[in-house]
């Protein structure tokens, strides 16, 4: 396990001060080491696979040696003994290095330091001193210093204090879009259901809207999950309610052409049948999906207006929310949806199917990691798990069940099945990520994009490119300071700081790519998932088409400068809807787009346990049951035959609903 030695701490403080140097007066900012909490950084590193922890330790040890100078042709001194200018040149050389490990090391350090600096909230409940310079007001809720209280929570989870054995008819592993629906459907039908969830149970004011704190508590790997080469950051919920608790509330129906493709290419005709449509209708009704809310934030309005000026259609994104008023409190609160909904407006499984399940006798056990599914005579019989008690102790949990439904997401589900001895040749393969880049822009007017719905408008003009079912969607992301600092390219400390000082005038679009070519999930010796993925030439072409389109929409919407998502930070300048240097867009394809030369992100992981009618190439039958182990089912995004092409929550829920009917 990674250990933060005094020498490594010294190096990290010097690295933080280089990424974020102290700002000039009068609006001075403290240096990076003043706000980068090394304890939180250590916890994020320790949440990674052991091999990643080891590599990170080696990286810091290299920087602490004089030989680090050989990596950039500089003085043979440890990093912390270089001058500030020399430190910056070392990091700049690593950012553009031809050696992939140096680029990977640069990006790991950059992401951790900038996110922790700009996204942190002081322990005493005060505001981060960097926020005032950014124009960021901080959480819309009062900052509290006390720990979350159990009072007022509508669910009453189990809380075993010693090693415990449970029996049930149906064990559901995971509580998000897949597991939550299965639990609610089966419990309501009278079955004895037990739900295991690896993450904690939070509700209401427990969602403090503090970025670093909530990312660390609600997301897999404390929000630092990534591919093995570090080039793609993955956001995956790991709390009661899973991704439905932390997603952006977009509730897209699966496009008909996607369902037709799945049915045709994967021998799964039920996707175009009436039963699956009824499942889509049922989950949309349970989640109160609607397009009634009239208010957009600055960047959604820019996407709508800029697209219209270019003759491109947009549409409202259906959202799973109810009880909304037109009040500023609700409008502001919607912007924190990715950190959990303190107002109870978002209708994820936490507020719908899990409550239904509990009301019909289902038992919920959060803070419990399933280690393996147990079998006997070739059938699934339950699971072995570990529960973390409120005081931090680990106790063993044994579950005996007649059926097991795994719904841990497309990263953790294949890892669990591999730990459990399944060996289907396609298990863990075909990983799709909807690889995403952020195209930010500076506007003359304040945007305040951290408020309002994170995504309320979508442009589908480029969803099916070159006669294929593959392309990109243009949407908008959450823009709180930590995430914003992490996605904006860093060329130097002063440049990055100056870019962020205009944060209240920044608007961002995302280019979400429906990827044709996938990656893979394996496990290491400890059973932790290892994620391999590299953007193919085919998918990169589509992504760059989307980047150009997003930039042109920003210009049409009135942006002054568009920051293109490459580590060299090409900037498209404009005035009154006209680009001054459009040639920068023509040059995009000629830039080097190898891993860690640009920022890629994924909030959607899919297809690693794909279902279909061909057992040789699909680990799951159309019913969701594994072809290897009777009585063992999968009901989450990993079961998609291919990626959905839209934000997948509603599709996952519909598939889980359909699977649950078969289980009944």
pLDDT digits (tens, 9 = 90+) for 405-447: 999 999 999 999 999 999 999 999 999 999 999 999 999 999 9
The mean pLDDT value of the chain amounts to 95
pTM: 0.96
Both structure tokens of 512 = 């979400």
Of 118-132, 350-364, 498-512, least confident by mean pLDDT is: 118-132
Domain spans of the chain?
Answer: 6-120, 163-199+252-286+348-363+404-432+608-664, 433-602
Of 15-29, 260-274, 340-354, 608-622, least confident by mean pLDDT is: 15-29
pLDDT digits (tens, 9 = 90+) for 631-656: 999 999 999 999 999 999 999 999 99
- What is the DSSP code string of 175-193? -STTHHHHHHHHHHTT--E
pLDDT at residue 520 greater than cutoff 80:
yes
Distances in Å between the Cα of 571 and the Cα atoms of 161, 486, 492, 499, 561 are 57, 18, 15, 12, 6
Average pLDDT over residues 514-540: 97
Q: What's the fold here for domain 163-199+252-286+348-363+404-432+608-664? A: FAD/NAD(P)-binding domain (3.50.50)
Residues 486, 101: Cα–Cα separation, whole Å? 19
Average pLDDT over residues 569-590: 96
pLDDT digits (tens, 9 = 90+) for 549-568: 999 999 999 999 999 999 99
What is residue 415's DSSP assignment? H
pLDDT at residue 124 greater than cutoff 80:
no
308 exposed, middle or buried (CB, 10 Å; 0-12, 13-18, 19+)?
A: middle
Q: How confident is the model at residue 502 (pLDDT cuts 50, 70, 90)?
A: confident
Q: How many CB atoms lie within 10 A of CB 284?
A: 18
Comparing CA positions, the residue from 12, 31, 2 lying closest to residue 112 is: 12
Distances in Å between the Cα of 34 and the Cα atoms of 10, 15, 20, 37, 569 are 13, 12, 10, 8, 27
Distances in Å between the Cα of 306 and the Cα atoms of 18, 26, 465 are 37, 36, 21
Average pLDDT over residues 606-615: 98
Q: In this structure, is the dihedral angle defined by the CA atoms of residues 457, 238, 663 and 623, taken in order, positive or negative?
A: positive
State the pLDDT at residue 530: 98
State the pLDDT at residue 23: 80
Average pLDDT over residues 586-614: 97
pLDDT digits (tens, 9 = 90+) for 278-294: 999 999 999 999 999 88
pLDDT digits (tens, 9 = 90+) for 169-179: 999 999 999 99
């Amino acid at each position: 396990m990674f250990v933060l030695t005094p020498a490594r701490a010294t190096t990290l403080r010097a690295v933080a001060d280089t990424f974020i140097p102290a700002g000039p007066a009068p609006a001075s900012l403290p240096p990076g080491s003043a706000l980068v909490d090394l304890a939180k950084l250590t916890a994020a590193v320790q949440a990674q696979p052991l091999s990643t922890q080891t590599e990170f330790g080696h990286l810091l040890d290299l920087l602490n040696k004089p030989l680090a100078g050989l990596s950039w042709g500089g003085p043979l001194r440890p990093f912390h003994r270089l001058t500030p200018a020399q430190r910056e040149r070392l990091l700049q050389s690593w950012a553009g290095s031809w050696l992939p490990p140096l680029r990977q090391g640069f990006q790991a350090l950059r992401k951790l330091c900038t996110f922790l600096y700009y996204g942190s909230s002081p322990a005493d409940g005060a505001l981060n001193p960097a926020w005032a310079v950014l124009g960021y007001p901080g959480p819309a809720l009062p900052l509290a210093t006390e720990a979350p209280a159990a009072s007022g929570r509508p669910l009453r989870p189990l809380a075993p204090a010693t090693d415990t054995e449970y029996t049930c008819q149906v064990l559901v592993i995971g509580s998000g879009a897949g597991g939550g629906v299965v639990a609610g459907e089966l419990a309501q039908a009278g079955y004895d259901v037990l739900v295991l969830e690896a993450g904690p149970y939070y509700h209401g004011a427990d969602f403090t809207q503090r970025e670093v704190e909530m990312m660390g508590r609600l997301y897999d790997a404390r929000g630092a999950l990534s591919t093995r080469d570090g080039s793609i950051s993955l956001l995956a919920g790991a709390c009661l309610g899973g991704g439905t608790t932390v997603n952006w509330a977009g509730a897209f129906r699966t496009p008909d052409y996607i369902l037709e493709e799945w049915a045709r290419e994967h021998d799964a005709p039920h996707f175009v049948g009436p039963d699956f449509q009824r499942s889509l209708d049922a989950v949309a009704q349970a989640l109160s999906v609607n397009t009634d809310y009239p208010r957009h934030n600055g960047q959604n309005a820019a996407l709508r207006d800029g697209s219209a000026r270019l003759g491109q259609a947009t549409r409202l994104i259906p959202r799973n929310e109810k009880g909304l008023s037109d009040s500023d409190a609700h409008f502001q609160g919607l912007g924190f949806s990715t950190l959990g909904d303190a107002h109870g407006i978002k209708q994820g499984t936490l507020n719908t199917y899990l409550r239904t399940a509990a009301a019909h006798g289902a038992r919920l056990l959060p803070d419990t990691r399933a280690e393996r599914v147990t079998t006997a005579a070739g059938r699934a019989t339950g699971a072995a798990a570990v529960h973390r008690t409120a005081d931090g102790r680990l106790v063993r949990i044994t579950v005996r069940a007649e059926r097991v439904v795994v719904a841990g997401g497309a990263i953790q589900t294949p890892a669990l099945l591999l730990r459990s001895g399944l060996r289907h040749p396609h298990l863990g393969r075909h990983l799709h990520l909807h690889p995403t880049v952020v195209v930010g822009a500076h506007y003359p007017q304040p945007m305040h994009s951290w408020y309002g719905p994170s995504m309320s408008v979508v442009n589908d003009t480029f969803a099916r490119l070159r006669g294929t079912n593959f392309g990109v969607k243009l949407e908008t992301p959450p823009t709180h300071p930590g995430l914003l600092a992490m996605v904006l390219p860093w060329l130097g400390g002063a440049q990055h700081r100056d870019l962020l000082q205009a944060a209240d005038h920044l608007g961002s679009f995302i280019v979400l790519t429906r990827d044709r070519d996938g990656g893979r999930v394996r496990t290491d010796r400890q059973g932790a998932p290892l994620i391999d993925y590299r953007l193919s030439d085919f998918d990169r072409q589509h992504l760059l088409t989307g980047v150009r389109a997003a930039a042109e929409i920003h210009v049409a919407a009135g942006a002054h400068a568009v920051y293109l998502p490459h580590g060299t930070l090409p900037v498209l300048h404009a005035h009154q809807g006209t680009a001054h240097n459009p040639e920068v867009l023509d040059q995009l394809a000629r830039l080097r787009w190898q891993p860690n030369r640009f920022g890629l992100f994924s909030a959607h992981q899919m297809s690693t346990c794909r279902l279909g009618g061909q057992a040789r190439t699909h680990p799951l039958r159309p019913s969701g049951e594994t072809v290897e182990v009777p009585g063992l089912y999968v009901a989450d995004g990993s079961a998609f035959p291919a990626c959905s092409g839209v934000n997948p929550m509603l599709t996952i829920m519909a598939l889980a609903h359909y699977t649950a009917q078969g289980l009944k």
